Amino acid sequence: MLSDDDGKYLIKIAKLAIENYLENGKKINVPEDCPEHLKEKLGVFVTLNRNKELRGCIGYPEPIAPLIDATIDVAISAAVNDPRFPKLTSEELKYIELEVTVLTKPELLEVSDPFNYSNEILIGRDGLIIEKGFNKGLLLPQVATEYNMDSETFLANTCIKAGLSSDCWNSKETKVYTFQGQIFKE
């Protein structure tokens, strides 16, 4: 569990990384004052919102890099590499609210019958990853609450995000993972 101060620090670094990249086209280095525990490998997503509307969201669902490095990388990517949106401009940045979500390691949900998945998911706590073949989709825990989804709707929307049919979670070939996220908002 990270502290509120850790969250404020990550938000500050994410914003600094975006500002610097938009102005200079360069990635910032990890600051020397970075607390040691923020160098632990953890998954992280950075979400950009403008007027409460999504403006970019990129992340690492798996703990593949130190949290501080991953935060810098995905903040920049959310600003300039999210294929759903045009690149953020320096002028637009002042209207953006940042959100950093630090993730736990995804865990495979194991059920005897796929129809039981919906009973294992706690809305507001769990994020989902759906994987079938080469297709994979992820929705953060806050998506279900922001859009008033029940667990079956959340499963269906994660399937769609993976580029699959909305009922693919009913298939025994589909893998469903849950994870939790600690959310820090600007």
Q: How confident is the model at residue 128, as a pLDDT?
A: 96
- Considering the domain architecture, whether residues 31 and 113 belong to the same structural domain is answered as no
Residue 63 lies in a domain: yes
In the numeric block, which tokens belong to residue 160?
A: 């769609």
Q: Provide the domain limits for residue 87.
A: 4-103
- Considering the domain architecture, whether residues 88 and 171 belong to the same structural domain is answered as no
What mean pLDDT comes out for the span 30-37? 95
- Considering the domain architecture, whether residues 83 and 54 belong to the same structural domain is answered as yes
Q: Are 169 and 117 in contact (CB under 8 A)?
A: yes
Q: Using CA atoms, how far apart are residues 51 and 65, in angstroms rounded to an integer?
A: 31
144 Cβ neighbours under 8 A, 6+ residues apart: 123, 124, 151, 153, 154
Model pLDDT for residues 85-138, shown as the tens digit of each residue:
999 999 999 999 999 999 998 999 999 999 899 999 999 999 999 999 999 999
